[in-house]
Amino acid sequence: MLCVSQAGIVIGSTVLEHLMPELHAALFPPESDQLFKGLTRFGFLIFVFMAGVRMDVNLVIKLGTKAWIIGIVTLIVPFLYIQHPMFEVFYQFKDNENEKVSYTVQQEIDNSRLYLLTLLSTQFPGVGWLLMHLKMSNTQMGHLALASALISELTRLSYLTLIVFMSEAVEFAPRIVLKSAFLCFFIIVLIVRVLRPLMLWVIRRTPEGKQVKEIYIAFIVAAVLFLALIGDGVGINFLFWPFVLGLAVPTGPPLASTLEEKFDTFVTGLLIPLLATYCGIKTDIPYMLSHYEASRVLLDFSAVVGILLKIVLLFVTALFCRMSVQEAAAFSLILNVKGIPELGLFASFTYDEVSFKTLSSAVVITFTVVAIVSILVRKLYDPSKRYTGYKNRSIMLTPSEGALQILACAYRQEDAVAAIKLLEVSNPSKESPLGVYGLYLEELVGSANPQLINHQLGQKHRTSSHHGLRSQQIIDIFHYFKSQHKKTAQVNFFTALSLPKLMHEDICWVAFDKAVSLIILPFHKKWNTKGDLVSDSQDLRALNINVLDKAPCSVGILLDRRRTRGLSSMFVCSSSFHVAVLFLDGEDDREALAYGIRMAGCPNVLLTILHFKTAQESGQENWRRMIENESLRTIKHELTKSEKVKYQEVIVGDGSKTASIVPSLQYDYDLIMVGRRHDLDSLIISGLSDWNESEELGPLGDLLASSEITAPASVLVVQQQILTASHSSTLNN
């Protein structure tokens, strides 16, 4: 937005008109102004409507009192501020200045009221836009900011509507007020009793996995334009009813997702940049500075003071709501962001040179605020920092007799089957119980506001029948596991609806909130029953990398090559299940080893520990090697009497020998576990990192994920919890 607006400033009144007025007049003749204004108003209208489509109104109910307190504070500050006696001084400046026409004075006073109220109000579409670009929509702070902004937006627009009615009652006959009130009541009934049921009917008529028909989309656009005209006709902001209609659109696919797909590129890629460019073109900074009279200085000073005052009050309110100082500072800045809504409002209500002078000041202040807020929020608030190093959460630190808390994530039904098979061999027993949290990951196309559905609280999946059915199938898989282990496992289930680039925040939050020790993620590649690669999701790979970077506990990426024949094979009990742990060095290998030892308690699990060593390691051991060998000696000492656990040393000369041995192990075991990170200087893996295709698996995990392997074995690559904040280097270690 800043770039295209700057381009508009260069080719507009600020630069081009002063340097080359003939060229500027040829590019922007007077008759083109109405076309520009019409397109920008239409783009702004659809932008606000889509902001309502992306919002889940139930978020306000979930957050409760806190959202209402903050929303009311953001609402009352602008209205109280413009009624301050200092603003009356501004009017005196107006009266004392020599204006040619008194009507122009009144026009500018009205514009000044709109100017201050617009700059001081919290605009919900602007808050949502900022959170989307900062990738904070599905953080706890993002949820609260969206809910508070929505409360403020709806209450402010309702209050202004009431003011309009009261003004009409004073100026005109009561009959006109009753007519306007009747039209508003008619629109409410139309949206709630007619349009929303029709949209639900359209969703039911749309086949699973298909988009909504074009004629239904055209009808919705016509309804948006109709509501805008009705609202404008009765003196209400033309954006109000389209925004309410957007809130009434059912969240998620197929309707909201189709609307998003149809209008996202057109609006955000064409009309909104056109709006920002138009504002830049009409901004005339030299003229604004040359006519910067005392009243304009006081007006802009009042706007800046009002913004700062609102930031302070919201900061205090956020502290009252038990936010940390940094979070409160970031939160107060987010609710004071300026951007597209402000530009759209100013562009919509400029009609003469006086209001265009106001537009110039507004554009400068808007650009300044949005640039400062974006930078400061990034510096003040990093959602991942609340997870990292908060508390040690790993398998190694979980007592053998304590409950192991595991978060199992699933995109598809086969992901849930693979995770349940892993949980089956994780030794759920009275002596070693499991706490399982299933998380179904659903890509959310039609809503910028994510949802985290807790099915234990009776929350229901409210998207299309297709996605609801798929979610229910995965829930049933976890419920069946729960029924098989009623006394040895506690099972809870969630559904996370989010954008792919933000979904890792939901995973990390559930892991953090439930204090889990291990997150199980599905590998991004899938194979069919013949062993052929059928899926390679880069979105899922990016998700896994982000979780590895920011997780508050240990993480395991599960690569499943088993050739299952439907759900009937999920709980087939074999006489033995062979597990191998590849041990080289490092904390990740020790974490995988701890998980393997826990599995060894399962009656049908046979564990083999393969310790890879070089011939040169017989002497001169460093401190890390001493710790690793000490842990292995303890394990060997405790399990010498167990026939289910075997320890074997594998002597290799270099990485090439390792590369020839590791892939062949999949034919001998049902599950192979290995740590992700290793010492890159070790001779055991020398040269392997140069050919690493999947860095998130590490050198050994990448060997086991080779496309040349056809063995039906599963692989679990384990990373122990990262206790430092150097996330950006995680994949390079």
pLDDT tens, position by position, 211-270: 788 899 999 999 999 999 888 877 777 888 899 999 898 876 778 878 887 887 788 888
Question: Which of 195-204, 274-283, 394-403, 454-463 tops mean pLDDT?
Answer: 195-204
Quote the pLDDT of residue 635.
62
Asked whether the predicted pLDDT for residue 100 surpasses 50, the reply is: no
Asked whether the predicted pLDDT for residue 150 surpasses 60, the reply is: yes
Instruction: For residues 442-450, give the mean pLDDT.
Output: 63
DSSP output for 110-156: HHHHHHHHHHHSPPHHHHHHHHHHTT-TTSHHHHHHHHHHHHHHHHH
- Where does the pLDDT of residue 457 fall: very low under 50, low under 70, confident under 90, or very high at 90 and above? low
Q: Where are the alpha helices (DSSP H) in 485-606?
A: 503-513, 538-550, 587-599
Phi then psi dihedrals of residue 20, to 5 deg: -135, 75
**CA angle 700-702-705, nearest 5°?**
115
Number of neighbouring beta carbons within 10 Å of residue 506: 22
Quote the pLDDT of residue 389.
53
Q: Which residue has the higher pLDDT, 98 or 379?
A: 379
- Sign of the Cα torsion 597, 600, 601, 602 reads positive
DSSP output for 463-490: S-HHHHHHHHHHHHHHHHHHHHTTTTEE
Is there a cis peptide before residue 254, judged by omega within 30 degrees of 0? yes
- In sequence order, the β-bridge partners of residue 496 are 441, 452
Question: What is the distance between the alpha carbons of residues 503 and 494, in angstroms, rounded to a whole number?
Answer: 13
Asked whether the predicted pLDDT for residue 724 surpasses 60, the reply is: no
Where is average pLDDT lowest: 46-50, 262-266, 348-352, 509-513?
A: 348-352
Question: What is the distance between the alpha carbons of residues 716 and 582, in angstroms, rounded to a whole number?
Answer: 11
Question: What is the distance between the alpha carbons of residues 469 and 440, in angstroms, rounded to a whole number?
Answer: 12
- In sequence order, the β-bridge partners of residue 522 are 558
Where is average pLDDT lowest: 164-168, 364-368, 382-386, 557-561?
A: 382-386
- Sign of the Cα torsion 598, 599, 602, 604 reads negative
Instruction: For residues 50-74, give the mean pLDDT.
Output: 82
Domains of the chain: 1-92+106-383 (1.20.1530.20), 394-572 (3.40.50.620), 573-722 (3.40.50.620)
User: Minimal CA–CA distance to 709: which of 529, 525, 532?
Assistant: 532
Asked whether the predicted pLDDT for residue 195 surpasses 70, the reply is: yes
Residues 580, 672: contact at Cβ < 8 Å?
A: yes
- What share of the chain in percent tops pLDDT 90? 19
**CA angle 546-394-577, nearest 5°?**
95
Asked whether the predicted pLDDT for residue 698 surpasses 60, the reply is: yes
Helix (H, G, I), strand (E, B) or coil at 577: strand
- Where does the pLDDT of residue 522 fall: very low under 50, low under 70, confident under 90, or very high at 90 and above? very high
Quote the pLDDT of residue 634.
58
Question: What is the distance between the alpha carbons of residues 581 and 569, in angstroms, rounded to a whole number?
Answer: 25
pTM of this structure: 0.72
Burial 543-582 (b: 16+ CB within 10 A, else e): bbbbbbbbbbbbbbbbbbbbebeebeebeeeeeebbbbbb
Number of neighbouring beta carbons within 10 Å of residue 312: 12
Query: How does the average pLDDT of the chain come out, rounded?
Result: 80
Question: What is the distance between the alpha carbons of residues 59 and 450, in angstroms, rounded to a whole number?
Answer: 9
